[in-house]
A and B are shown apart, each in its own frame.
Chain A
Amino acid sequence: MDTGAWIILALIVIFILFMIAMYNRLVALRNQVKNAWRQIDVQLKRRHDLIPNLVEVVKDYMSYEQETLRQVIEARNSAVNAQGPADTIAAEGVLSGALGKLFALMENYPDLKANQNVANLMEELSSTENKIAFARQFYNDSVMSLNNAVQSFPSNMVANMFRFTEATYFEVPQAETAVPKVDLR
Chain B
Amino acid sequence: MASSLVVTCPECGTYNSASASLCRQCGAVLKPERAQRPRIQKKLLRRTDFLAAARANQANTRRLVLILVAVACVLGYLIGWNIQIYAQAPAHTYGQPAPGDWSPWFFSAWGAIGAAILAGVSLVWTFVAFKAGDRIVMRMTGARQVGPDEAPMLNNVVEEMAIAAGLAKPKVYIIDTPALNAFATGMSPGRASIAVTQGLLDTLNREELQGVIGHEMGHVVNWDIRYATAVTVLVGLIALVSDGVLRGFYYGGGRRRDSRGGGVVAILLLVFAVLAPLVAKLVQMAISRQREFLADATSVRLTRNAQGLISALEKLETSAQPFDGANRATQHLFIVNPFRNFSEKASALMATHPPLSRRIERLRNLGAKGY
Contacts and interface: CB of A to CB of B under 8 A. Distances in A.
Interface of A: 32, 35-36, 39, 43, 120, 123-124, 127, 130-131, 134-135, 137-138, 141-142, 183, 185
A130 B160 contact: yes
5 contacts: A35-B166, A127-B153, A130-B156, A131-B159, A138-B166
B160 to A, nearest CB: 5
A127 B165 contact: no
A131 B205 contact: no
A36 B160 contact: no
A123 B153 contact: yes
A124 B160 CA distance: 11
A146 B152 CA distance: 35
A74 to B, nearest CB: 27
Interface residues of B, number: 15
B213 to A, nearest CB: 12
Contact of B166 (A32, A43, A123, A124): A32
Interface in B157-211: 157, 159-161, 163-166, 205-206
B50 to A, nearest CB: 18
A123 B159 CA distance: 13
Contact of B160 (A32, A127, A142, A185): A127
Interface in B107-152: 152
B162 to A, nearest CB: 9
A43 B304 CA distance: 20
Interface of B: 152-153, 156-157, 159-161, 163-166, 205-206, 302, 304
A138 B304 contact: no
B205 A36 contact: no
A40 to B, nearest CB: 9
A19 B206 CA distance: 46
Contacts of A120: 152
A131 B160 contact: yes
Main secondary structure of the interface of B (DSSP, over half): helix
A122 to B, nearest CB: 11
Given A183-B206, A185-B205, A138 B164 contact: yes
Contacts of B152: 120, 123-124
B165 A123 contact: no
A141 B160 CA distance: 16
B161 A134 contact: yes
A125 to B, nearest CB: 10
B164 A137 contact: yes
A39 B160 contact: no
B165 A137 contact: no
A36 B166 contact: yes
B156 A124 contact: yes
Nearest to A43: B163
Contacts of B164: 134-135, 137-138
The 9 A-B pairs at the shortest CB distance, nearest first, are namely A127-B156, A134-B164, A134-B163, A138-B166, A130-B160, A135-B163, A131-B163, A131-B160, A134-B160
Contacts of B157: 127
Contacts of B163: 39, 43, 131, 134-135, 138
A131 B160 CA distance: 5
B154 to A, nearest CB: 11
Contact of A183 (B156, B160, B205, B302): B205
Greatest chain A CB density within 10 A among B160, B161, B205 is at: B160
Contacts of A183: 205-206
A35 B166 CA distance: 9
Contacts of B153: 123, 127
Contacts of B205: 183, 185
Nearest to A138: B166
Greatest chain B CB density within 10 A among A120, A127, A135 is at: A127
A135 B161 CA distance: 9
Contacts of A185: 205-206
Contacts of A135: 163-164
A147 B153 CA distance: 35
B160 A123 contact: no
A137 B156 contact: no
B323 to A, nearest CB: 25
